[in-house]
Amino acid sequence: MALTGLLQRLNSMGYKNWIKAGHCLLLLKGSLQEFVVSEMKSFHRELRSKIPAALQNSSCQCKATGKTFHPGCPVCAEWKRLILNHHMNRNGEIHWGNCNPSLWPTNYWEVAKAYMPRGHADKRGPELCDASAILNLINACDRFRRFDNSKVRAVIKCRNDLMHSSDMSVSANWLNDFGNKLQNLIAEFKHVPKIKDESGKILQVLSSDWFVEDCDRYETDGLPSREETTSLSVYEVEKQLIQQLLEETYFQIEDKNTWTQQDNDTLQTIKKFLSDNEDLHSDFKADIVRFESLYSHLTFAEGCSL
C-alpha cells in the first residue's frame, strides 16, 4: 500500500523533484554530522575553559523561553556572554528557547542549539536534527568562519524554499540550480572525510529519472534502494520531509500569533494532499489536530475556517 502510493505520487514531476531535493539534504546532513559534532565538542571545551574556576561546579535551574533569556545565576550569565561572543547574529534573532541553560556546562549540544532556528528544544543530539539545524549552526557560529558561508546560506535558502512549498512541488530548473549550489557547498567542505562518498550519492539522486513504469508491478527506473543511498527508504524520506513541512508551517503561524488567509490556503492544500493519499493520512492525523488546536487559540482573518 505504502509503496504503491509513493510510486503513484512520483508520477508528478514536481513532487518527484521535491522529494529528490529533500533526499539530498538528508544525505548532506549525514555527511556533515560527524564533522560538526567533533567541532562543537572542541568548541564546548574551549568555552568551558574560559568559565571562572569558582563557577565551574556550580549548578542552576535557569530556563529559557522564546527569543529572550535573562540569566538568573552567574553561571548562565557567563555562558550566555560566551555564546553571544561567538554568534554571527548576536544583535539579531536568537532562539534561546532551544536550550536548557542548566546543561550548558556539561552538554555541548545544548550550546550548539543556541545557533539554530526555532524548534530544536527537544532535539537531544545531532542525529535528531535536520539539515536546516546543521547548516544554520555552521552559518551562525564563528567556529566555522574559515568557510565561505555564502555557500552555506545559498543552500539554506533552497531548503527554506522547499519547506515553503505547500504543494510540495519544485521545477526541474529549480532542482538544477539547487544541485549546483549543493556542489559548491560540498567543494567548500571537501576535506570532511565522509562528504566525498555522500556527494556521489547526492549526484546519483539528482541525475536519476525515478521513472515509474507500472505502479501495480512496482517497476521503476533509478528509484534508489536503502543500500544505494541512505539507511532510509524513499518512503521514509518522504514522511520525514512532510513532517518537516508541517512543523515549519506550524512554527511560522504560531510565531505570528495570527491566522491569515494564506495560512488557511496552505493548510487546506496540505490537508487535501494527505486526504488524497490514504497511506500518508493516518501518519499525520495528530499534526492536523495540532493545527486545529492552534487555530482555535489565534486571532484570524474574517472568513478563515479549517
pLDDT per residue over 158-203, tens digit each? Answer: 999 999 998 999 999 999 999 999 999 999 999 998 898 788 889 8
Average of pLDDT values for 245-249? 93
Residue 2: all three cell numbers together = 505504502
Return all residues near 153 (Cβ < 8 A) that are at least 6 apart.
Answer: 139
In angstroms, the CA 98 to CA 113 distance is 6
Average of pLDDT values for 6-17? 91
pLDDT band at residue 53 using 50, 70 and 90 as cut-offs: confident
**3-state SS of the chain: helix, strand, coil percent to 5?**
65, 5, 30
| Model confidence, pTM | 0.88
| E strand residue ranges, the chain | 211-214, 219-221, 258-259, 299-300
* Burial class for 267, CB neighbours closer than 10 Å (0-12, 13-18, 19+): buried
Average of pLDDT values for 246-263? 88
pLDDT per residue over 201-242, tens digit each? Answer: 898 899 888 755 443 433 444 555 444 444 568 889 999 999
pLDDT value, residue 299: 65
pLDDT per residue over 55-85, tens digit each? Answer: 777 778 899 988 989 999 999 999 999 999 9
Residue 57: all three cell numbers together = 561546579
